[in-house]
Structure 1
């Protein structure tokens, strides 16, 4: 059987298109859009639960262009606060607030269940390992 490299790319795009809207719908009752959840998750996992805006733009799944707008929305909702960077007056940090952490913890089981139901349930453990390893290689190479 011949390998069709375009099929792997198309499969990735179609999977994203099929699964992401279902994750977004699952999160609706939590009041956290998927973009908010992503930024809160990345910020919460950072040292001191804060990241420079430029680093948040690199780590979040949200596009770098949108991350500033998402942080502004989260700030208005009281879930994130911008903090000046004392070492570099031109940059600032996005820091998750206690309310942001509470809302993230509240939404996490909903998000994880949706990922399990709409993605992981269709794969074996060995397929998950292969995908994680293969896609991780692409991320490392392209983010370098």
Structure 2
């Protein structure tokens, strides 16, 4: 049996700072999105991912991977977005079993209205608080952790 390597003071401080900051930022983002568009953060991320696609559509399995949610959680979010008229489902032309999530024109307009406020929150509470060097370091560190987590 391996011995647990407990966090030292520096490591624990880094972990707590990351965790607390992530929670606080997530809360601010949720407040902004709920107030401006009645969206949750996962719903907003779905709209963003779909808007990034040339035809504003993506297979549900790929979309779940990109927004880092389970297929059932994505299905729930897509159902909510469908009810709001922001997304619709379509059959994949190359595979009858595949389902596509498609961003509607109303969904695109909602995203265009909501994105400036979202960027303002991210910029005010994170991006503008860091120097360019700190941003590069943060990006490198988080991408390193992300690569391990995605394996």
TM-score by length of structure 1 reads 0.89
| Structure-1 separation of matches of 2:83 and 2:113 | 19
Choose from 125, 130, 136 the match for 1:129.
136
**Is residue 89 of structure 1 aligned with residue 108 of structure 2?**
no
Q: Tell me the residue number matched to 1:7.
A: 13
Residues 1:19 and 2:28 are matched in the alignment: no
CA separation in 2, counterparts of 1:54 and 1:7? 37
Q: Give the Cα separation in 1 of the matches to 2:27 and 2:65.
A: 23
RMSD of the alignment, in Å? 1.8
Query: What's the offset of the Cα at 1:108?
Result: 0.5
Alignment of 1:54-93 (within 5 A): 54-61=61-68, 63-64=69-70, 65-93=72-100
Structure 1 portions without partners, runs of 5+: none
Q: Does 1:119 align with 2:126?
A: yes
Q: 1:102 aligns with which of 85, 106, 109?
A: 109
Aligned residues: 142
SS in 1 for 2:18: helix
CA shift for structure 1 position 3: 7.4
The residue matched to 2:96 in structure 1 has which SS? coil
Structure 2: runs of 5 or more not aligned: 1-7
Q: Is the 8 A contact 1:43 1:49 kept in 2?
A: yes
